[in-house]
Amino acid sequence: MTGWIAIAGMGPGDAALITPEVTAALAQATDVVGYASYVARVAARADLTLHASDNRVELERAAQALELAAAGRRVVVVSSGDPGVFAMAAAVFEALEEGHPDWRELDIRVLPGITAMLAASARAGAPLGHDFCAINLSDNLKPWDLIERRLRLAAEADFAMAFYNPRSKARPEGFGRALDVLREACGGERPVLFARAVCTPEEVLRIVALRDARPEMADMRTMVIVGSSRTRLIERPGAPILYTPRSAE
Amino acid sequence: MTGWIAIAGMGPGDAALITPEVTAALAQATDVVGYASYVARVAARADLTLHASDNRVELERAAQALELAAAGRRVVVVSSGDPGVFAMAAAVFEALEEGHPDWRELDIRVLPGITAMLAASARAGAPLGHDFCAINLSDNLKPWDLIERRLRLAAEADFAMAFYNPRSKARPEGFGRALDVLREACGGERPVLFARAVCTPEEVLRIVALRDARPEMADMRTMVIVGSSRTRLIERPGAPILYTPRSAE
């Protein structure tokens, strides 16, 4: 077998945030596999086959990529952000674990990228400058009770919290409940960052107090970061800076 | 004022993991400010002044960078990894908040980078593929009691956990206590990744069960990731793959 798979992070959207490692892998690839809107970010080339698929078919897409590599193709699986954070790397390893035993001999690499919470944090200041957690608010693959339990424990630990997939048309209710749980656990003062389409031409950043946060401020393209008890704003001309000091006290 | 500051993430060590955005900022800079071993990663140039400083002087270094920018210089503050994760961004904002009011008018940008936990995760598989937390184990800036409390709550939330700065010569004891707390909270089976000098020529990866984890397996160049209850290994020729499935059950 001379094929390989690279599961690559394309970052949040801006080409200037794609690592040279990922660019080099794409240049060597024969096939690109991914969700259509991420595949659309790869430049077309005569010797490159683009396999765009729909959302919510991660396991089928992963198996397709493994099959292509097993057939000797050089395959890049594209993810937005970082492939290891709520993205395609875990799906590929699930498919590998359940799939053909020969697949385990494949050359498989994960190429890291700038995940959405780091991009959003950088654009707003440094809200993740002290201990923090990252939670996927989608309840497609876990029970809602577990999400609520994690929110309460994260608040008790006084983590800053980064939320991926806060809200979709299929799940409009959960994020409102999450905000209620957080208000109960943290009070209303906590700053909340809504970073929509971060590092793209449509980027919008908005910072509100937790008491004023509303579910409709987020959609599936929004990264939400809720500060810890120490997170604060530096007012200045233009947008304020949101950051969490390094010290706990 | 025509000066600016860019607080830039240089990634874990490999030049192929530095974003084009950071490379462009360095090309435009007149001054680079940072911890000596990170400044050493910047190519020297006749029109570029390198200001290398010692570890543990983050606030002085931040104030120096702000002063240079206020004097009209184009300043890149270099961090390893991502500047917003246990690195220089929060220090610059602390200095900004306490410093000269005019500094608030400066053009300040944070340029994200590949933080150590994403690089370590990618090299081992996808241990951060489900909900997780990131904790700085240094007790320089927070009481040890708070660290232990966070470890217990993170275990109760069943987060995978990424630990920065697990151990230094000045603090040899803490990491052993952290491992004891985790064994008590999670049992001995949990896989633990020790990723030393990740994405450098000296990289060493080691995965052991929590019961076999020893403090001396880590130093200040080691990223430690402890799996959640769902994290597992895929055995295969060569190194196994460590990953956490997307589903909670």
Residues A127-149: pLDDT tens digits?
A: 999 999 999 999 888 999 999 99
Q: Find the mean pLDDT for residues B192-197.
A: 98
Question: pLDDT for A98-114, tens place per residue?
Answer: 999 999 999 999 999 99
* Res B171 pLDDT > 90: no
User: Model confidence at B169, in pLDDT bands (50, 70, 90)?
Assistant: confident
Res B39: pLDDT: 96
Dig out the tokens for A185 from the structure. 């656990």
> Residue A108 falls within a domain, yes or no?
yes
Res A56: pLDDT: 78
Least Cα distance to B82 among A112, A54, A169 occurs for A112
Number of C-beta neighbours around residue B181 at 10 A: 17
Res A229: pLDDT: 98
Chain A CB contacts of B115 under 8 Å are 118
Question: pLDDT for A13-71, tens place per residue?
Answer: 999 999 999 999 999 999 999 999 999 999 999 999 999 998 778 999 999 999 999 99
Question: pLDDT for A158-191, tens place per residue?
Answer: 999 999 999 877 777 899 999 999 999 999 999 9
Of residues B85, B104, B237, nearest to A234 (C-beta)? B104
ipTM associated with this complex: 0.97
Of residues B21, B131, B249, nearest to A135 (C-beta)? B131
Least Cα distance to A75 among A83, A84, A66 occurs for A66
| Residue after which a domain boundary falls, among A114, A145, A172 | A114
Do residue B221 and residue B124 come from a single domain? yes
Residue type, A54: D
Decide if B132 and A128 are in contact by the 8 Å CB cutoff. Answer: no
> Could you tell me the CATH number of the domain that includes residue B195?
3.30.950.10
Do residue B141 and residue B25 come from a single domain? no
> Residue A248 falls within a domain, yes or no?
no
Interatomic CA distance for residues B156 and A45, integer angstroms = 49
Do residue A98 and residue A156 come from a single domain? no
User: Model confidence at A2, in pLDDT bands (50, 70, 90)?
Assistant: confident
Decide if A108 and B241 are in contact by the 8 Å CB cutoff. Answer: yes
Of residues B17, B96, B243, nearest to A93 (C-beta)? B243
Diameter over CA atoms, chain A: 60
Res B38: pLDDT: 94
Res B77: pLDDT: 98
| Residue after which a domain boundary falls, among A79, A114, A149 | A114
Cβ A73 vs Cβ A6: under 8 Å: no
> Residue A93 falls within a domain, yes or no?
yes
* Domain count for chain A: 2
> Could you tell me the CATH number of the domain that includes residue A107?
3.40.1010.10
Q: What crossing angle do the helices spanning B88-98 and B58-70 adopt, rounded to 10°?
A: 70
Find which of B23, B56, B133, B226 to mutate to test the A interface (most A CBs within 10 Å of its CB): B133
Question: pLDDT for A72-90, tens place per residue?
Answer: 999 999 999 999 999 999 9
Cβ neighbours of residue B148 under 8 Å, at least 6 residues apart?
A: B177, B178, B181
> Residue B248 falls within a domain, yes or no?
no
Do residue A169 and residue A108 come from a single domain? no
Interatomic CA distance for residues B103 and B119, integer angstroms = 34
Do residue B75 and residue B159 come from a single domain? no
Do residue A66 and residue A122 come from a single domain? no
> Residue B249 falls within a domain, yes or no?
no
Query: Is the backbone of residue B199 left (phi > 0), alpha (psi -120 to 50) or beta?
Result: left
| Residue after which a domain boundary falls, among B82, B114, B146 | B114
Q: Chain B: nearest CA to A186, how far in angstroms?
A: 16
Interatomic CA distance for residues A111 and B121, integer angstroms = 10
* Res B150 pLDDT > 70: yes
Percent of chain A topping pLDDT 70: 100
What does the H/E/C string look like for chain B?
A: CCCEEEEEECECCCHHHCCHHHHHHHHHCCEEEEEHHHHCCCCCCCCCEEEEECCCCHHHHHHHHHHHHHCCCEEEEEECECCCCCCHHHHHHHHHHHCCHHHHHCEEEEECCCCHHHHHHHHHEECCCCCEEEEECCCCCCCHHHHHHHHHHHHHCCCEEEEECCCECCECCHHHHHHHHHHHHHCCCCEEEEEECCCCCCCEEEEEEHHHCCHHHCCCCEEEEECCCCCEEECCCCCCEEECCCCCC
Interatomic CA distance for residues B154 and B123, integer angstroms = 24
Find the domain containing A151 and state its range: 117-243
A164: nearest CA partner in chain B: B131
Q: What are phi and psi of B110, to 5 degrees?
A: -110, 125
DSSP state, residue A43: P
Number of C-beta neighbours around residue A129 at 10 A: 30
Do residue A20 and residue A104 come from a single domain? yes
Chain B CB contacts of A144 under 8 Å are none
Task: Give the three-state DSSP class for A3.
Answer: coil
Do residue A129 and residue A235 come from a single domain? yes
Query: Is the backbone of residue B81 left (phi > 0), alpha (psi -120 to 50) or beta?
Result: left
Least Cα distance to B219 among B174, B162, B163, B167 occurs for B167
Do residue A110 and residue A130 come from a single domain? no
A133: nearest CA partner in chain B: B133
Residue type, B131: D
Decide if A16 and B19 are in contact by the 8 Å CB cutoff. Answer: yes
Do residue A102 and residue A123 come from a single domain? no
